[in-house]
Structure 1
């Protein structure tokens, strides 16, 4: 079983706060820690933001890929 330092259920936040909370949570992770992101759609645009902001400094692994729920393990390298 995977362990997570934090979990962000993006469905619980209004749209204007989702990415803010996700990036704040990621920022608090120590290297080798990971967070779990839960969302109701594929967070592809968020992945592009991570690529732009943290190139080579994170991992992205789908734990569940829809169609109703998406769960992504985001690790800090």
Structure 2
């Protein structure tokens, strides 16, 4: 099993973060994932995934602050 790619968005300006995250998600093969690293709880991002990709993604908190959040975001099987 290969290690998931890490996408650290903490240095990106906020308006560019979701674009980068969704581009990374779109490039995933089925049953693969990446680890999002963020400086706050990305709960609004979860709701956006839920609205736009219902049943097509997985969401697993690996670390929950207070300074760093890590979330494994995956693409489900086709």
Structure 1: which 5+ residue stretches go unaligned? Answer: none
In structure 2, what is the Cα distance between the partners aligned to 1:15 and 1:70?
15
Residues 59/2 of structure 1: CA separation in 2 closer, same or farther (3 Å cut): farther
What's the counterpart of residue 32 of structure 1? 31
Q: Which has the higher helix share?
A: 1
Q: How does 1:23-62 map to 2 (within 5 A)?
A: 23-62=22-61
Q: Describe the superposition over 1:23-75 as per-residue Cα deviations: whole angstroms up to 9, x where unpaired.
A: 00000000011011000100000000000010000000000011111000001
Contact persistence 1:62–1:71 (CA under 8 A): yes
Task: Give the number of equivalent residue pairs.
Answer: 76
If the length of structure 1 is used for normalisation, what is the TM-score? 0.93
Q: Aligned-residue CA RMSD in angstroms?
A: 1.5
In structure 2, what is the Cα distance between the partners aligned to 1:2 and 1:45?
29
If the length of structure 2 is used for normalisation, what is the TM-score? 0.92
In structure 2, what is the Cα distance between the partners aligned to 1:28 and 1:58?
13
What's the counterpart of residue 8 of structure 2? 9
Structure 2: which 5+ residue stretches go unaligned? Answer: none
What stretches of structure 1 move > 4 A for 4+ residues in a row? Answer: none
